[in-house]
Amino acid sequence: MASARCKLLFTFILFIFTIFPVSSQGLRHPLDPLSPEELTLVRTIVMDATSNDTIFSYVALDEPDKPLVLYWLSNPTTKPPPRRALAMTRFNKETHEFIVDLSTRAIISDKLVDDDQGYPILTLGERTEVAQLPYSFAPFIESMNRRGLNSSAAICSAYTLGWFGQEKTKRNVKLQCFYLNNGSVNYYAFPIEGIWMIANLDKMKIVEYSDRYIKPMPKSEGTDYRFSEQKPPFGPRINRAAVCQPDGPGIEIKGHMVRWGNWKLHVSFDAGAGPIISTALIYDEEAQRFRSVLYRGFVSELFVPYMDPTVGRFSDTFFDAGEYGLGYSAVSLEPSMDCPNNAVFMDGYYARYDGLPVIVPRAICLFEKNAGDIMWRHTETGIPSTIINEVRPDRSLVIRMVATVGYYNYIYDSEFKLDGSIHMEVGLTGILAIKATEYTNNHQIKEEIYGPLVSKNSIGLNHDHFFMYHLDLDIDGVHNSMVKRKLVTKRNRNTDTPRKSYWTVMSETPKTESEANFQYGLDPVQVLIVNPNKKTRLGNNHGYRLSPASFIHPLLTEDDYPQIRAAFTENDVWITPYNKSEKWVSGWYVDRSRGQDTLAVWSRRDREIDNKDIVLWHLMGIHHVPSQEDYPIMPTLKARFELHPNNYFERNPVLKLIPPEPVTPCNCN
């Protein structure tokens, strides 16, 4: 009996190791984000080599080489890859990039980065400090007095300046000031127009100032978005609702490893990208094993160019990940509001400007989504004296983070479904970028104002949102290929029927990057990532299909400086061979960069991609022409795409899904 118990215990431990790998250091996946203790250790090591004035712009895990990670995942009891950190810093007005070995507590690399390459992410500490400069700057105070405004009621923010052909750049930012008008907290609705103010971050000094004109301040009535400040009539009403799970939660979390349904994956938090999904595997009931789908997936960049080319606004062409950091912009999620009541939460950690760790409580939520959707169904009435109704309700796992970058709030959802599909969606809400104007009605306008009137004296500026996703798909292994599947119309040459036409599929497998990269047009094209070495019993290659839902093409000219920096938006789909250093499509040093280190530049090498370890880059987004409904705060707009199994399984993988038992109404108290 004792021997049987020991055997059972050993089997259970082996199962736990398989599902939730642990290392000799404890529950630690090689792609786990840096812990607060590790962030503190990095700070100590780097400061010992530099000075106490060092500014930490970005600190993150120095991702181990992919083969090392995959080997450890296959052999979880072996020693994990070396644990290292990347630290981008500024000191003595220079950018240094350090690689720190956390086990030996030593700096193994110190690279001096030329300012011509660009500057690292703006830290919140620097942005806060530089935004205080106008309050003691005499010309600004004089400008406020001329407008009849109290300078103490101004709120100033630091914005990146971009690059517009200069041979040399400095670490300068634009200061844009707004006004707290009659108690409204929506200060973005009250921009102080006509002032051009540039400050240098290294000197913490205003270095350029001009006051060219005065525009009337929009009225404050109706601009506050707080419910407590709204006036009757109210409505509509939302009745209370709750998710009830009588069988308990379906999500298991061990460290950063998540198990739900037939999925097993790793979720981490990064100061630049926000949420990163890694090593996603799906369990194939027929094959009785886990199979690889996604090695690494995250938002690599968010490019937001505004369409006002005038002196005060031309530089508003923002790279929200590379210049500000989506993780740095993460907010704590509100239970039962941002996420349903059945959600579980993960905290996020990052290093602030002085290197000390900062916690973002409830940075990520995970929840089972039950929206009343149908997974599959069929009603059959064709059999005599028989009616068949077979229905399966849909379920999915949602991983969510919200980033507030200036005006906008971005809701990032990664949704995993039991049929093997993955949906990526971004919701856009928050505040419009408003430009004050003297106009109060469209009939007064006789010039280009770069956006529609959304309220009296208020222009909602036209702009774009380009989201570029990094998707390192490993379809049943690392050696994958891209297949372009074109649907082509053909004339019917068969005279036995009256049909004149039909469509058929013509497939091609690009061999190099230049053959793979393309922009969706009018012709129907499907993109597949397949494993040419693995086939179903019928002889089809295992694969996944990209299903885009929101196309966006750049409308700036190719020689415009913001478009040179964002040349990665020229294609909806790019394919590159895996390269650890090719993580950020806009480059590692984006602030004031010149477009010399982007996906468009890497891809010019035209490397081989057939039957290689490849990365799919997909662009989605929105051209936003604001409307009055977007004011004073926007209802959520959405952009999305989906990844669907394509001959990955032998048959419908949820055919034998066990239907849930009926649930009696829960006591929501």
CA distances 166 to 100, 162, 210, 321, 561, Å, are 34, 10, 20, 23, 10
Closest CA to 349 of 41, 46, 69: 41
Query: Is the pTM higher than 0.85?
Result: yes
Average pLDDT for 61-80: 95
Please tell me the least confidently modeled range out of 74-78, 187-191, 268-272: 74-78
Tell me, what's the pLDDT at 669?
Answer: 52
CA distances 191 to 103, 131, 186, 550, 560, Å, are 50, 15, 10, 32, 26
Tell me, what's the pLDDT at 522?
Answer: 82
Tell me, what's the pLDDT at 666?
Answer: 62
Do 355 and 42 touch, CB atoms closer than 8 A?
A: yes
pLDDT tens sequence across 469-520: 999 999 999 999 999 999 999 999 999 999 999 999 999 999 999 999 999 9
pLDDT tens sequence across 630-668: 999 999 999 999 999 999 999 999 999 999 888 776 665
Tell me, what's the pLDDT at 27?
Answer: 55
Q: How far apart are CA 507 and CA 520, in angstroms?
A: 16
pLDDT at 18 over 50: no
Tell me, what's the pLDDT at 244?
Answer: 86
Q: Which amino acid is at 110?
A: D
Q: What are phi and psi of 151, to 5 degrees?
A: -60, -25
Average pLDDT for 173-200: 97
pLDDT at 16 over 50: no
Q: 């108290």: which residue's tokens?
A: 669
Do 114 and 97 touch, CB atoms closer than 8 A?
A: no
For 98: left if phi > 0, alpha if psi spans -120 to 50, otherwise beta; the answer is beta
Rounded to a whole number, what is the largest CA-CA distance in the chain?
Answer: 92
Secondary structure, 3-state, 218-283:
CCCCCCCCCHHHCCCCCCCCCCCCCCCCCCCCCEEEECCEEEECCEEEEEEEECCCEEEEEEEEEE
Q: Which amino acid is at 271?
A: A
Q: Catalytic amino acids?
A: 320, 408
Tell me, what's the pLDDT at 550?
Answer: 80
pLDDT tens sequence across 423-470: 999 999 999 999 999 999 999 999 999 999 999 999 999 999 999 999
Rounded (to 5) percent helix, strand, coil in the chain: 15, 40, 45
Average pLDDT for 139-145: 98
Average pLDDT for 102-114: 97
Tell me, what's the pLDDT at 543?
Answer: 98
Residues shown for the chain: 669
pLDDT tens sequence across 516-552: 999 998 889 999 999 999 999 999 999 999 999 988 9
Helix and strand totals (H; E) in the chain: 8, 32
Q: 């979880």: which residue's tokens?
A: 76
pLDDT tens sequence across 238-289: 998 888 888 888 999 999 999 999 999 999 999 999 999 999 999 999 999 9
For 596: left if phi > 0, alpha if psi spans -120 to 50, otherwise beta; the answer is alpha
| pLDDT class of 1 with cuts at 50, 70, 90 | very low
Structure token digits, residue 6:
């020991």
Structure token digits, residue 356:
């000390």
| pLDDT class of 615 with cuts at 50, 70, 90 | very high
